[in-house]
Structure 1
Amino acid sequence: MKAEGGHGQAKILTADEINRLFVDGFSCDRDRALFGVCLYTGCRINEACTLATSDAIDSKGVKDNLIIRKKNTKGQQETREIATATELRGYLERHQPGKQHLFSGRHGRGHINPRSAAAILEEAFKTVGIEGGSTHSFRRTALTQMANAGVPLHVIQKISGHKSLQALQRYLAVSEQQVKDAIAALKFL
């Protein structure tokens, strides 16, 4: 699987590609829930794979906030709580988690390995004819969509767990149309 969408960065998925993946690409509720976590929280695949069941679900059902523990983050930055989007709540409600791990590994031992998750995604991409995507595409897609919707960068940084705004900004795609619109906004007379 090609791991990037250009210029060394993961491909940003379109709404159509996301729909095709979640409708026809993923073969089970676990896979929809796993990659739904990546898409609707902007987390890394390792962060999603290592979630404890208690980080997302309690005795009342799916929690309002999903918890990504410091020990599972890149660089062990800090624990983050991210609101559970309505769509993600649905994926998690249909998923049958393990007792300890939200996404159990083979034969219920430990959590799913991020390489196994990448192989699942590669197969889903092939099934629906998407090229150039990777597990990191979900993170980059989520963060770019938030920025395009006008979410302040410091809020996106809190969600993504990036150490700095500079590191975050490398994730965000800028389209040619956005550049044209920015120039067109210049009105001095």
Structure 2
Amino acid sequence: MSQAKTLSENEIQQVLNCVGEKKFGVRDRALVLISHYSGMRVGEIASLTVGHVLDINEKIKSEIRLTAEQTKGKHPRTVFVSSKLKAELANYIQTIRVDDKERALFTTQKSPRRGFTANTLTQHFLNIYKAAGIDGASSHSGRRTYATTIASQGVGLRVLMRLMGHRNVSTTAVYIDANDNMLRNAVELV
């Protein structure tokens, strides 16, 4: 099985332009960007509630704390929320009910309180990328793009490993695509 496509900035913009024209564009934009800006797995995103992202003052938190039950490896972890992601979540949060902190962050028409399951969200991401004309992209593309983007900025593999929620650095290394810009920048270090 081939790995999910790592998206370029232009391809991410192409996806955002496409979802912006849809009925649930604000939600889908937030879904795409939480994937690309946090590196969370699709199951982790599907498990988020309003209370995971909003503090008691209804401001976006700087950290999302995932329980062991929410993570693939059954180890709790902290997801750090960048200023870009905070802005996107703040925009999205204005469009949903926030009075129930246990309510799903990303709701569906069929199940507004529970929201997406990991499987339905996986299919939803496939449909989003297909509609945008991005071949080879899947629900894991955001995670791979996140890892590659951070690595291209020179962040060490051990730091990236912690951000990704991995227990082994060799697992993290598989996520990073060495693109031409990274290679160009690397040779300039000599």
For residues 136-169 of structure 1, the C-alpha deviation after alignment (integer angstroms, 9 at most, x for no partner) is: 0000000011001101111111110011101110
- Aligned twin of 1:10: 4
> Is there any run of 5+ residues in structure 2 with no aligned partner, and where?
none
For 1:119, the equivalent position in structure 2 comes to 123
Aligned counterpart for 1:91 among listed residues 85, 88, 92: 88
Contact 2:63 2:78 survives alignment (8 Å): no
1:53 aligns with 2:57: no
1:144 corresponds to: 148
For residues 138 and 20 of structure 1, the distance between their equivalents in structure 2, rounded to whole angstroms, comes to 14
Cα distance per residue 1:60-93 (max 9 Å; x no partner): 22112222222110121222231x2222222212
Q: Taking structure 2 as the reference length, what is the TM-score of the superposition?
A: 0.82
TM-score, normalised relative to structure 1: 0.83
- Residue 144 of structure 1 aligns to a residue in which SS? helix
Q: Does 149-158 or 25-34 show the bigger shift?
A: 25-34
Percentage of pairs with the same residue? 26
Q: Is the 8 A contact 2:54 2:60 kept in 1?
A: yes
Q: Secondary structure at the match of 1:62?
A: coil
Q: Is the 8 A contact 2:40 2:143 kept in 1?
A: yes
| Rounded Cα–Cα distance in structure 2 between residues aligned with 1:102 and 1:161 | 21
Distance 1:177 1:87 in 2: 23
3-state SS of 2:135 partner: coil
The residue matched to 2:64 in structure 1 has which SS? Answer: strand
**Residues 147 and 153 of structure 1 are in contact (CA less than 8 Å); yes or no, is this contact kept in structure 2?**
yes
The alpha-carbon deviation at position 94 of structure 1 amounts to 2.3
What is the CA-CA distance between 1:183 and the residue it aligns to?
A: 6.4
Instruction: For structure 1, list consecutive stretches of 5 or more residues without a partner in the other structure.
Output: none
Give the Å deviation of 1:126: 2.8
CA RMSD of aligned residues (A): 2.3
Which of residues 52, 63, 66 is equivalent to 1:65?
63
Check whether the contact 1:42–1:140 (CA below 8 A) recurs between aligned residues. Answer: yes
Structure-to-structure mapping, 1:17-28, within 5 angstroms: 17-26=11-20, 27=22, 28=25
- What CA deviation, in whole Å up to 9, does each residue of 1:119-148 have, x standing for no partner? 332332233211110010000000011001
- SS at 1:75 equivalent: coil
The 8 Å contact of residues 161 and 172 in structure 2, kept in 1 or not, is answered as: yes
Is the contact between residue 97 and residue 104 of structure 1 (CA under 8 Å) also seen in structure 2? Answer: no
Distance in 2 between residues matched to 1:177 and 1:24, nearest whole Å: 26
**C-alpha distance in structure 1 between counterparts of 2:123 and 2:185, whole Å:** 39
